[in-house]
Structure 1
Amino acid sequence: MNLAIALTAARYGAATANYTEVQRLLKGPDTGRVCGVRCRDVLTGKEFDVRAKCVINATGPFTDSVRKMDDQEVPNICQPSAGVHIVMPGYYSPDNMGLLDPATSDGRVIFFLPWEKMTIAGTTDSPTDVTSHPIPTEEDINFILSEVRNYLGPDVEVRRGDVLAAWSGIRPLVTNPDSKDTQSLSRNHVVTISDSGLVTIAGGKWTTYRAMARDTIDAAVREHNLQAGSCRTMGLQLEGAQDWSPTLYIRLVQDYGLESEVAQHLASTYGDKAFEVAKIAQVTGKRWPIVGKRLVSEFPYIEAEVVYGVREYARTAVDVISRRTRLAFLNVQAADEALPRIVDIMGKELSWCEQKKKEELETAKTFLYYEMGYKVKTDQLTDRSEISLVPSDIERYKKRFRMFDKDKKGFITILDVQRVLQSVSVQMDENTLHEILNEVDLNKNGQVELNEFLQLMSAIQKGRVSGSRLAVLMKRAEENLRRQAIPVDRSGGGL
């Protein structure tokens, strides 16, 4: 939406500058009135001036930092609040039903909604410092998970590993400087004008952005006697809306040979501009679909969107995985898998050298790990994952692990574990295996990584893990084995 608004403004004559920050305000030497800004291109470091009859400060959580460029003594009116959201598999919510609880355990509001064939849940609401890189904390994620468990049946196990993505956003809650009740925070917006003529629009939210635009522009026109009428935002169509229709995607399928799911995604995302994306889509070499190579198999994003994104001002891999597609917000692991191809495509479009491509890849991975809830997998085993296997057994189990990890993703599935156990003549019922895996799943991600697999095999071989429920579970597994007359070798020589 942000991009669509910028492109619409450009269509009506606005000059836009991406990746640009304000260094300071410019003021007339005689009048002291704000008459422009000193800007800096973040990507190149180049600085330049922009002169204007009126300067509008619309910087969200950064509102007060710009106001203090105008007057260092001005009191803050913005109280940033952090809101954390998580995305879980779609099976957690019906397709056409959402839930909102205004009375959670600590009084905050929680919602639970179907979104992009997934489930989105949130949100926290707590004071925070202003930063360009807000990070979701484990405490916030676990709070949401804890509340979510209250809405589901007792037989449904909600795991940390079910969190496919998590992020934190900053709400620019404000106090009205003209109000007598200066302590009350508001989610509504306020428009203020300083003595030097700086117009500030603060607070508000995405769902009221047109009302915010109208109030701000009308105030600017009045204050600075601009030769313009009242704001025209109401009813103005954004870029891509003009020729859009609910059945537009059918034309994309028929005219270009796109998959129906991909065509629906392009139509709903780009509107009538979807045809421009389809025109640059590559031939797949298959009977169907004819064009449109996906970035990852389970999501409808295609490689042509990366090219189109670059032509619409995208300049970093983070732009593409988060702001031009929803990959980072829907599944960080899928975004991570798509990154090498995305960087290759962007490198070709923007003439990146190999070093630049490497830097972009690392920056994007860091973004996923720290800002989108993708926890770095540790190679170090904790105390509760102590492994008691002889070197020959470790190598043997590593070899079996790699046999099932054919794609070298670093993990295997529970079904793979069952197959490994069967291959070494260990049988146990699914409930017992599920409980054991839940004990050794250190990352709570529903996947069994090598260190977790080795711990599992060690526990089965030893039959106990000190200080853990695993001892009880393994005893139950041994009883099952004895009932099946399968011997358990405790000599250290392996199963």
Structure 2
Amino acid sequence: MAFRRALRRTALLGGGAVVTVFGLSQLLEYRKKQARLAHVAAEGELNIPFARELPSRAAQLSALRSKEEFDVLIVGGGTSLFTFQSDFSSGTSSRSTKLIHGGVRYLQKAIMKLDYEQYVMVKEALHERANLLEIAPHLSAPLPIMLPIYKWWQLPYYWAGIKMYDLVAGIQCLKSSYVLSKSKALELFPMLKKDKLVGAIVYYDGQHNDARMNLAIALTAARYGAAIANYTEVVSLLKRKDKEGVEQVCGARCRDLLTGEEFDVRAKCVINATGPFTDSLRKMDNQETPNICQPSAGVHIVIPGYYSPDNMGLLDPSTSDGRVIFFLPWEKMTIAGTTDTPTSVTAHPMPGEEDINFILNEIRNYLSPDVEVRRGDVLAAWSGIRPLVSDPNSKDTQSICRNHVVSISPSGMVTIAGGKWTTYRSMAEETLDAAVKEHQLSAEPCRTVGLLLEGGRGWTPTLYIRLVQDYGLEVEVAQHLASTYGTRAFDVAKMAHVTGQRWPIVGKRLVSEYGLLRPQLCNKYESVL
């Protein structure tokens, strides 16, 4: 979310070379120092209207219904910027691979095809990866990912590519990649197929709780004064004629889906950040406008945790049809999935048997024959729509942009489409830069690099111990609360207090196998959602 001090009101509907010189400890200390300086720069002079308690959804809607004209109205409830017709993060933003990454395969294409645009995209994503890990430490962490090698000639080939990935990251390299022998690879990933295994390469990317990250962005926006509302849909766009008689978008007619009430939200600028449904809002502005969204589905399945180690992922860089598959540990389970399967935007499609069986077959190709991969082991499956786009300003209207596109319609509506989770912040910054320039809004430069998200301020990896000691929570429950809410976990723990009982205070779990507590369903700090 690109916050700007001078934007009065915002409505959101729906959020290498250096490594070889420094030792690891000096590198980590340098990064921590830079992060502290960035936090100071980002937060030093920012006003926080709701520093103590967030306004309720009713209060947010009251602000939206007011006669005041907002500077910016943002339509969409995903990561880019936020009214939304369902829960925040109920769409693609919660159906990702859970990775914060620069894109190893994009770097490969950049090198092999001498594609500078791909290189710039990877460079930007690696910068944003480091920033996201810093601003949401409770929701994200580095994750080692293993690339098993089954042919001798692939070892130097992939090794050079992965080291180039480290080099492009530079000072923001999470941890240096390394090569493993066959025996060491099997020790760390005993489920791997042993036959013809040469060795493995391990590199680092980030992993995050995508749904909670989206909520943290929304809550942070609300804390800094944005009016946000879920279960609120745009019925139509409001327009007025400028001095030249050209119709300009000046807001939206909205409907509260919980009550059916309709109301107008007026704004100097409307931003279309609706992801896969980008073209729907564009056609609401102008029925003749061409489609730019090329939806692509990422299909994922959830299988038992014994398919992967607790702290190591695996990358299959070349499947039978050329796609990439990840096997990643997640919430005591394993996520396996692919990207870039053509789909429709009419609704989030359910993965078909063909998709599920494809993933299972690829898993069989990499796992030991001793591990029986069964269809009955699939515990869940989902499909998230990635809004690949063609640039409306490009002469080649059929070309697909792997990055994101910011465009402005003749009526002044700003559209942000494409991109990926990792680069949400830079996408938001670029979008607001375009909005500020187009509509001559008064705003200072973006201040979100280093700006801690909700729950991140004061968080430490040992915070859960205080929850155990102060509230008598089970260790697993305390760890879950600390990694879900960050420093706000104490407020949830207080709600789990048993009247008349001082210690131990054990909150009632919703599911016995997980640390979910009943009070999480009615956490007052999420009443805004």
Normalised by the length of structure 1, the TM-score is 0.61
The residue aligned with 2:440 is 225
1:35 aligns with 2:250: yes
String of CA shifts for 1:37-73, please: whole Å, max 9, x gaps: 1111122221111000000000000101101111111
One-letter code aligned to 2:409: S
Between 268-277 and 23-32, report the one with greater CA deviation. Answer: 23-32
Separation of aligned partners in 1, 2:330 and 2:259: 37
1:217–1:230: 8 Å Cα contact kept in structure 2? no
Q: Which has the higher contact order (CA 8 A, sep 6+)?
A: 2
How far apart are 1:134 and its partner, in Å?
2.5
- Corresponding pairs, count: 314
One-letter code aligned to 1:44: T
The residue aligned with 2:107 is none
1:282–1:293: 8 Å Cα contact kept in structure 2? no
Structure (1/2) with the larger strand percentage:
2
One-letter code aligned to 1:140: D
Q: How does 1:391-402 map to 2 (within 5 A)?
A: none
One-letter code aligned to 2:227: A
String of CA shifts for 1:425-445, please: whole Å, max 9, x gaps: xxxxxxxxxxxxxxxxxxxxx
The residue aligned with 1:447 is none
Q: Which runs of 5+ in 1 are unaligned?
A: 315-495
2:237–2:284: 8 Å Cα contact kept in structure 1? yes
String of CA shifts for 1:196-240, please: whole Å, max 9, x gaps: 110000001111111111101111111111011122221111111
1:77 aligns with 2:289: no
Separation of aligned partners in 2, 1:78 and 1:106: 24
Q: How does 1:131-142 map to 2 (within 5 A)?
A: 131-142=346-357
How far apart are 1:144 and its partner, in Å?
0.7
Q: Percent identity?
A: 77
Structure (1/2) with the larger helix percentage:
1
1:39–1:47: 8 Å Cα contact kept in structure 2? yes
Q: How does 1:103-182 map to 2 (within 5 A)?
A: 103-182=318-397
The residue aligned with 2:512 is 297
Separation of aligned partners in 2, 1:287 and 1:162: 42
In structure 2, relative to structure 1, the CA distance for the partners of 1:285 and 1:132 (3 Å cut) is farther
How far apart are 1:183 and its partner, in Å?
2.2
**Higher alpha-carbon Rg:** 1
SS of 1:28's equivalent? strand
Q: How does 1:298-313 map to 2 (within 5 A)?
A: 298-308=513-523, 311-313=526-528
The residue aligned with 2:234 is 22
1:48 pairs, out of 247, 256, 263, with 263
2:348–2:385: 8 Å Cα contact kept in structure 1? no
Q: How does 1:32-431 map to 2 (within 5 A)?
A: 32-283=247-498, 290-308=505-523, 311-313=526-528
1:10 aligns with 2:222: yes
2:299–2:384: 8 Å Cα contact kept in structure 1? yes
2:297–2:343: 8 Å Cα contact kept in structure 1? yes
1:7–1:239: 8 Å Cα contact kept in structure 2? yes
One-letter code aligned to 2:217: I
How far apart are 1:150 and its partner, in Å?
0.7
SS of 1:33's equivalent? strand
Q: Which runs of 5+ in 2 are unaligned?
A: 1-212
Structure 1's consecutive aligned runs of 4 or more residues displaced over 6 angstroms after TM superposition are 284-288
Q: CA RMSD in A?
A: 1.9
SS of 2:432's equivalent? helix
SS of 2:259's equivalent? coil
In structure 2, relative to structure 1, the CA distance for the partners of 1:238 and 1:109 (3 Å cut) is same
Separation of aligned partners in 1, 2:263 and 2:216: 26
How far apart are 1:125 and its partner, in Å?
2.5
The residue aligned with 1:449 is none
